[in-house]
Amino acid sequence: MPIIELGEVRGEPVAQPTARPPRAVGRPLRTAVVLLLALVALTGATAVRHRTVTSVPTAPGASAYLTEDAIVVVDASTPSGDRYLTVYDQPGPTGGDSVRRRWRAPLERSGDYVSAWMQRGMLLAVGVSTADGVLETTAFDAETGQRRWRNPGIVQRATDGGMLLVNDTEDGLGSVSRVTPDTGRVLWSVPAPFGGTDFHRQGDQGDQVDQVDQVVFVQPTGEVQVYDADTGALRHSVDTLPGARSAFQRVQVADDLVLLVPPGSTELVAFRLPAMAPAWRSPVPLVAWAVPCADLLCAVQQTGGIQMIDPATGAVRWSDQGPDMLVDVRRDRLLVATSEQRYAVRDARTGRERAELGRWQLVNQVRREDTLLGVRPTPDGRLVVAELDLTAGRTRILDVLPGVVGGCQAAQPVLLCRRLDGSTALWRLPR
């Protein structure tokens, strides 16, 4: 049964009041004070809301993962006993229902599972094989729990409802494969260089999930290859290291740009999809990764700092060589972590700081489009939950949860966290 907690949505612990004001004199004033206190008490009573907490059955050492409409619990390794993966339905909108077990499926007695999520009617659980240490994906029917298939690699998404499995291994035997969602049958497979694969994604308006339609490889020989994600056909190929050289290069896709960090990491080289036409070269050294930011391109350097690049020409619009690290991008606002481990909001087009949000731990979110959430502990053992609004440049306290240690995940308005006693529970956040 769910537990009903009474709590006030307030921020940090309230400071003690200052010295008591002088005592009022006279009956009329005393009467007015009594009436005022009564009104204050009534107002305070209406501010107290019922907080519904729903416990999730988890054994010691188990891992819990939140999905759009369920909670997935993976038991810890038990060499001498049974081990299961269990799916529970989330409580209803009122938060008054206890979790109901949808199904339970047996797991191998050893091995570590690192993630689980729902996709195309399947529950996909990613674990590390105990035999060779390779990441594997096991697919279960989301409604019945029937095991459908188990293959090496981690699932991406293809445009026609198929699934892409990426098996990135250091031994040079990696691959990208397309499989059928219901059976896991391999439709095509292409060898993939270690650390040299990325994907072009197109938005799918039906389910609001980015889908992969092109796979991009950079081979040690310098050849950049573009494959069709549906058919596995090679569409384009460009040699970026003429003269039969061999060297490691990093590749990343940002919108319609294929970005390459060549040997020496002294610049950023861009090609434009779909034909892999040369676009520009930008003198930005030591680029670790890049991401679209509003109508520009954020290039984050290995040593920290941000370079903002015009995606049409490669020109640097503004630059910050400081230690701030880019954490997230929302429209034309950047969330950066400062050297003091605080979060700040910057304007993507100018680099100007718009607001400081303070110290928070970001909550892992099931849906990318949900508002950012942050949590931080209080000295008295509670956990403050806040909405981080980058557009407005402010935080809004949503709740202060008692007895919660952290490890939170969100599929708003549902929040899943670990309690101090090691158990797991769900809270429904106020809108």
Q: What's the pLDDT tens digit per position in 347-368?
A: 999 999 999 999 999 999 999 8
CA separation for the pair 413, 365 (Å, rounded):
11
For the segment 236-252, the average pLDDT, to the nearest whole number, is 87
Whose CA is closest to 374, among 399, 351, 353?
A: 399
Which conformational region is residue 110 in: left (phi greater than 0), alpha (psi within -120 to 50 degrees), or beta?
A: beta
Contacting residues for 30 by C-beta, under 8 A, at least 6 apart: 24
Residue 375 phi/psi, 5-degree rounding, is: -130, 155
> Is the overall model pTM greater than 0.85, yes or no?
no
Burial of 87 (0-12, 13-18, 19+ CB in 10 A): buried
- Half-sphere exposure in the Cβ direction for 253 (13 Å, CA): 23
pLDDT band at 203 (very low <50, low <70, confident <90, very high): low
CB proximity list for 263: less than 8 A, separation 6 or greater: 241, 247, 248, 249
Q: pLDDT class for 9, splitting at 50, 70, 90?
A: very low
Extents of the domains making up the chain: 284-359
Q: What is the mean pLDDT of the chain?
A: 85
Q: What is the pLDDT of residue 367?
A: 92
Q: Is the pLDDT of residue 328 over 90?
A: yes
Whole-angstrom Cα distance, residue 327 to residue 348?
13
Second-level CATH architecture of 284-359: Beta Barrel (2.40)
Q: Kindly state the average pLDDT of the residues 93-108.
A: 83
Does pLDDT of 213 surpass 70?
yes
Per-residue confidence band for 239, with pLDDT thresholds at 50, 70 and 90 = very high
Q: Which two tokens stand for residue 132?
A: 């060779």
State pLDDT tens for residues 20-69.
Answer: 333 333 444 343 333 333 333 333 333 445 678 899 999 888 999 999 99
User: Is-contact 384 338, C-beta < 8 A?
Assistant: no
The pLDDT of residue 256 is above 80: yes
Which residue matches tokens 């938060």?
95
